[in-house]
Amino acid sequence: MELDAKLDLNVVAVDSGETVHLLLELEAPGLEGERRRDPANLQVVLDRSGSMGDGSLLAALQAIDSLVGKLSPDDQLGLVCFDDSVIVPIAAGPVGDGGAIRSALRHIHTGGMTNLSSGLMRGIQEADRASADRAATLVLLSDGHANEGVTDHPTLEGVAKGATGHKITVSTIGIGHGYDEDLLEAISRGGGGNSHFAENGDEAGAHLAGEVEGLLEQVIQAASLTVKPTGDVSGIRLYNDLPTSEIKDGFMVELGELVSEEKRRLLFEIDVPDIAALGLAQVCEIELRWVETGTMESKVVTIPVNVNVVPGDEAAGRIANPEVITELTFQESQRAKKEANDALARGDHEGARRRWHQSRERLQRLDRGSMNAQELRDINEEIAMLDQIEARSDLDINMARKMSQADYHRKSQKRGRPKRGGE
């Protein structure tokens, strides 16, 4: 695993407190030839409430059926279904020849209300039972609002976060117009997984296939990043919306699993105190820990982050790193989408428009001549997405919010992750 650190300003003025931004780039190793992998563990939790009778349930079941052929006989697959109650049509276990799984899928039909919490917790139990202390992926598909059982968002986010302690990553797929995007977003954030938006059952199936593809190409498990301030640094803040935990000497960011050659970008804001001594000064230490899937070997990399303290007149002519500034503007656009979504939820369409327009203007002012090809694509795509979300909001505010939420998740939480399954 490679780790690289860049500051927008690596030179600061003596006796002058400043704020700098730190860009961390991670890259997972690629798959080596036809490597022998450990059995994958996939748990699907499927909403079968009455509203799924519009064809969404059938499309999801067809997608699961097609996945059977992509898995090896030793891979683990389980299916939990929920409406106002929970059933386990496919107990988590080896795929085998797939015959028993396909037979079970043919007997699943729609039911009543939406007890999402019971389905989620039962799915976590099944994934944990079958994983034998190996990593597992749970994918929750729903088209509605939780209206029975536990419906509190922070509680369900906590349930998903608890699953990560058992090496279970939780992703969500919201289908159609009616699902609760805030709830599914909270669950995927707590579970360290992906949050997908699907306009119909076919798109949901594509996202599910993408999750399986990522599972089979997984090379890193249980990745985490520890940030330890040094000296008198008063604050370090993470721009990306990722699960964090306070520790004795800093905080830890949960990164979860990474697939072959996956890249991630994380952006931090650091309050550098007044420093009286000239020369190099360490502001924080970064520690990256992970487990390699093939060998189950634990690894750790530690790097210091330093600034060069110089006289004020020398600092006056410095130029900020354009790559870090581009990422800062990009992440500020993600915050703008979040704020615009909150405005739409309040019925403030004009307030949302202002946030989109402000973000678009900042992106357009960036120096494109300093960007590499990938950065240029990212910025152009972001501007186009803002335009698309605004146009969609004129027709259907509810769908615009779902589109915006899913895009925010991909770019803030899973920044840099390869596009899979129709993302």
Mean pLDDT across 97-126: 91
Residue 219 has pLDDT above 50, yes or no: yes
State the Cα–Cα distance between residues 224 and 20, nearest whole angstrom.
23
The residues facing 94 across adjacent strands are 76
- Asked if domains 2-31+219-315 and 41-216 share a fold, the reply is no
Kindly indicate the confidence band of residue 33, based on its pLDDT and cuts at 50, 70 and 90: low
Show Cβ contacts of residue 243 under 8 Å, excluding neighbours closer than 6 positions.
161, 164, 189, 190, 192, 253, 254
Amino acid at 111: G
- Cβ count near 353 (within 10 Å): 16
Q: At what angle do helices 397-408 and 181-191 cross, to 10 degrees?
A: 10
* CATH code given to domain 41-216: 3.40.50.410
Report whether pLDDT(419) > 70.
no
Of residues 178 and 153, the one with the higher pLDDT is: 153
Nearest-angstrom CA–CA distance, 15 and 217: 49
Query: How many angstroms separate the CA atoms of 185 and 191, rounded?
Result: 10
Q: Which residues pair with 159 in a beta bridge?
A: none
In whole numbers, what is the pLDDT of the chain averaged over residues? 89
Q: Say which residue, 253 or 233, is predicted with more confidence.
A: 253
Q: Which of 45-59, 249-263, 285-299, 319-333 has the highest mean pLDDT?
A: 319-333
pLDDT of residue 418: 47
How large a percentage of the chain has pLDDT more than 90?
A: 53
Q: What is the pLDDT of residue 415?
A: 64
What average pLDDT does this structure show over 366-379? 92
Decide: helix, strand or coil at residue 144: coil
Spatial separation of the C-alpha atoms in residues 140 and 180, rounded to whole Å: 13
Q: Taking Cα atoms as reference points, which of 159, 138, 157, 144 lies closest to residue 208? A: 138
Contacts of 96 (CB under 8 A, 6+ apart): 73
Q: Which tokens belong to 27? A: 């890259």
5: burial class by Cβ within 10 Å (0-12, 13-18, 19+)? middle
pLDDT in tens, 373-391: 989 999 999 999 999 999 9
Q: Give the pLDDT of residue 178.
A: 79
Burial of 81 (0-12, 13-18, 19+ CB in 10 A): buried
What pLDDT does 394 receive?
93
Of residues 134 and 324, the one with the higher pLDDT is 324
| CA 156 to the chain's CA centroid | 17
Q: Which of these ranges, 103-112, 178-187, 203-212, 407-416, has the smallest mean pLDDT?
A: 407-416
Q: What's the rounded Cα separation, in Å, for the pair 354 and 359?
A: 8
Q: What 3-state class would DSSP assign to 126? A: helix
- The domain defined by 2-31+219-315 folds into Immunoglobulin-like (2.60.40)
How many whole angstroms from its chain centre is CA 302? 24
Q: What share of the chain is helix, strand, coil (3-state, %, to 5)?
A: 40, 30, 30
pLDDT value for 422: 40
Q: Is 50 left (phi over 0), alpha (psi -120 to 50) or beta?
A: alpha
Q: What is the mean pLDDT of residues 219-236?
A: 88
Q: Where are the domains of the chain?
A: 2-31+219-315, 41-216, 322-413
